[in-house]
Amino acid sequence: MQTLDVENPGLPDLQFVLMVLALCTSDLEALNVPDAVRRTVFDRCWALIHNTPPPDRKEDRVLDMRDGTELTLEAMVAVIKSTLAEHGITQLSWDHPPSAPTRQTTPEALPLVERLQKLYPAPPDIAD
């Protein structure tokens, strides 16, 4: 079981926002945040950087924060914390094993991936 203290996450603000938004838009059933609250968190953060309604399709519910400012980030932290507090959630908890990557490496990135694999090869399988 993994947990994240909402008031004292021990993460930089950007990591906190990305982690909470990833959890809120995931299909994790073992997350202690009801679907309606997950949707509210995302929708309120969306409204901070868009003038359009949030997307309905799950695949489109992704927040691109690259053009955001420090003020936007601070506002998102405040929105997440206050929204979860409104629903009495002080700690996020979930149980999910690490999953395999869902995207293939792009052709453009393959040379870099191959170079990294040469620099940091996977440990050999050693039988006990």
Q: Phi/psi of residue 68, each to 5°?
A: -75, 165
In this prediction, residue 74 carries a pLDDT of: 96
Can you tell me whether residue 58 is helix, strand or coil?
helix
State residue 100's pLDDT score.
Answer: 67
Predicted pLDDT of residue 58:
87
- How far is Cα 67 from Cα 78, in angstroms, rounded to an integer? 19
Question: If you average pLDDT over residues 51-66, what whole number do you get?
Answer: 90
CA atoms within 13 A on the CB side of 43: 11
Highest mean pLDDT among 34-38, 64-68, 123-127: 34-38
Model pTM above 0.85? no
Which range has the top average pLDDT, 21-30, 61-70, 115-124?
Answer: 21-30
- Compute the average pLDDT of residues 76-81: 97
Q: Is the confidence at residue 4, as pLDDT, over 70? A: yes
Q: How many residues would you count in the chain? A: 128
The token pair at 63 is 């927040």
Rg (CA), the chain: 18
